[in-house]
Structure 1
Amino acid sequence: MLLANRYQIIRMLGEGGFGQTFLAEDIQMPSKRICVIKQLKPMATESAIYQVVQERFQREAAILERLGENHSQIPKLYAYFSHEGKFYLVQEWIEGETLEARVAQQGRLSEAEVRNILITLLPVLELIHNQGMIHRDIKPENIILRHLDRTPVLIDFGAVRETMGTVYNSRGNPTSSIVIGTPGYMPPEQAAGRPIPSSDLYSLGLTAIYLLTGRMPQTFDTDPQTGEILWQQSAPNLSPDFAAVLNQMVRSHPRDRFSSAAEVRSALESPLQATLPPAQPSEVHTAVIHSRPSTVSPDMPQNSDRTRLILAAVAGGGLLTDEIAAIAFR
């Protein structure tokens, strides 16, 4: 199959509710450059609404282009286009292994390794947040250790997928939203459809805990009084200062976390001397109704299982006005 008279499809990498992901060859480049093509299908098909989605897609693509050009740990965006009602992103193919695969093959990482990964990735998050974007789906399988230099690369941004899944009324205003994220790695405010920059810090903190313990976040108990995750018994030899930083990253309420990636990096480079006090329980609650598993995500070069859930977000005891979030999870 040939896309846009330029991209020769080599094989499919994944498929899901939002579309498909392909490994392709750019036949118009002298090097026959290998790339990843993400095909995205919007939920809205009406012509007037389609125009709104197209404009949002173009804005998000422009941000992805800037990010990839300004940081080597974000895949470059080579091109984007639309065809027959579908949208396409052409991105750099990152050769390497995901952190999930690294743990599966070689076991848990050392504190020094995990600390180095965090210090290396935090400037990437700082750049992303300064551009007004939130990643929304940070987890071990969305971080690739590049074969070339073993540097972690952050892939699979969720903002474009959210654009494809937003439902609009006849006036072009959004009436419901897709919440992008992964159970266990996603904080309460993100599950309620209100992600903020510190939501990414929460996800990165839980990614670090997974690397240190080899355990998925859902397997940990939580404090019945505070709702905080009780994970440190699975990493008993961790230094107190590093544990304190991770604990603050994964506080359930945003007000108790670090406010920026720069703050986390500063804390890691200037170790804390005492464990931070526990936070109050989050005021954001969610009710989740499970449904059948869906197909593989279209937005990952690696194959992965995904669970689809429908969530009614409840904040402060009341339903979010005019918003029922259909959640597409990995």
Structure 2
Amino acid sequence: MNSTLLNYRYRIVRSLGRGGFGETFLAQDTHMPSGRYCAIKQLKPAGNDPQILQLVRERFAREAAIVESLGEGSDRIPSLYAYFNEAGQFYLVQEWIEGRTLADRVALEGVLSESRVRTLLVSLLDILEYVHSQGIVHRDIKPENIILRKSDGEPVLIDFGAVRETMATTLSSTGNPTHSIVIGTPGFMSGEQAAGRPVYGSDLYSLGLTAIYALTGLTPQQMASDPQTGALLWRGQVAGLSPQLADILDKAIESHPRDRYLGAEEMRSALKRQSPDRNRPPAGVPPQKQPVYQVPIPPSSSTVAVADPF
């Protein structure tokens, strides 16, 4: 990007990150008296066929409306200021959240305490309960998509919008619109999500693995799995971990959605109900088999699922 104003309004300050479908910039809004900062996501469609671009344009408008609605409903989701397309590329202008990602926090200062992780989980589950109530599945919860806000330390869940999926729109051999990618991050993505069938419990799975990362400083790929069950062997990485929290996280990351929590509210209630009890067996003891739940499947994917634009 050069010094030219984007959309005759936004002055780019610096790049914040780059991905397969675009780049994110820190910018200043020259139309505001304060020259407020904002985060601008520049997104590139997968193809330049006129029919594809028209489909992308229509879907981008719908997904931008979802991003706007989510930001209006929670102060822990960035607000949408504007959206536009210019020179064949698409842009979202969002509130810039000053702070550090959870990934940066762990990398710079080390792992979080159990009490801090519990507090963080409760706050994030509050956000997810709201998001899921709107029929939305985030599909890319991970340490990089959680910002710990500088002003109060509260987590902010970023990169909403099925924009990346929209940018991946292509045409099948029969001329029907389809998507060329699966949304999500390997390691933090559940099996059903990898198969293209995300449900609300897919977000709980990703959140559980994110909490384990906060406790251990390790990604799922850096830890061993049980060769027979495939269960992640993570408990031994955390000294003094309470069995209660270990059980909650193990349930959240069960391989099948029906074995996880029914929803964000149920997982949050479990966290609030259970407090550390040092008289219980060590966290290395395998948890009891959890009851089977049927996770409700959200409405059809392309207009309700949201994800990181990269």
TM-score range normalised by the length of the shorter chain: 0.7 to 0.9
> Please, which of 162, 168, 171 is the counterpart of residue 171 of structure 2?
168
> Is 1:75 aligned with 2:78?
yes
1:121 paired residue number:
124
Question: Is residue 248–residue 276 contact of structure 1 (8 Å, CA) maintained in 2?
Answer: no
How many residue pairs get aligned? The number is 283
Q: In structure 1, how many angstroms separate the alpha carbons of the residues matched to 2:179 and 2:149?
A: 37
Q: Which runs of 5+ in 2 are unaligned?
A: 281-286, 293-307
Q: Offset at 1:329?
A: 11
TM-score normalised by length of structure 1: 0.80
> Please, which of 221, 224, 242 is the counterpart of residue 221 of structure 1?
224
> Is 1:249 aligned with 2:261?
no
Identity %: 60
Q: How does 1:1-330 map to 2 (within 5 A)?
A: 1-157=4-160, 159-169=162-172, 173-271=176-274, 275-277=287-289
Decide whether aligned partners of structure 1 residues 102 and 62 sit closer, same or farther in structure 2, where only a CA change above 3 A counts: same
Decide whether aligned partners of structure 1 residues 128 and 168 sit closer, same or farther in structure 2, where only a CA change above 3 A counts: farther
Residues 37-46 or 162-171, more deviating: 162-171
TM-score normalised by length of structure 2: 0.85
Decide whether aligned partners of structure 1 residues 136 and 235 sit closer, same or farther in structure 2, where only a CA change above 3 A counts: same
Q: In structure 2, how many angstroms separate the alpha carbons of the residues matched to 1:215 and 1:170?
A: 42
Which stretches of structure 1, 4 residues or more, deviate above 6 A after TM superposition?
none
Decide whether aligned partners of structure 1 residues 148 and 329 sit closer, same or farther in structure 2, where only a CA change above 3 A counts: closer
Question: Is residue 158–residue 180 contact of structure 1 (8 Å, CA) maintained in 2?
Answer: no
Q: Offset at 1:83?
A: 1.4
Letter in 1 for 2:235: Q
Aligned-pair RMSD on alpha carbons? 2.3
Letter in 1 for 2:167: M
Decide whether aligned partners of structure 1 residues 92 and 171 sit closer, same or farther in structure 2, where only a CA change above 3 A counts: farther
Q: Offset at 1:216?
A: 1.4
Letter in 2 for 1:276: Q
Secondary structure of residue in 2 paired with 1:184: coil
Q: Offset at 1:11?
A: 1.7
2:299 paired residue number:
none
Secondary structure of residue in 2 paired with 1:38: strand
Q: Offset at 1:145?
A: 0.7
Q: Offset at 1:14?
A: 2.2
Decide whether aligned partners of structure 1 residues 126 and 13 sit closer, same or farther in structure 2, where only a CA change above 3 A counts: same
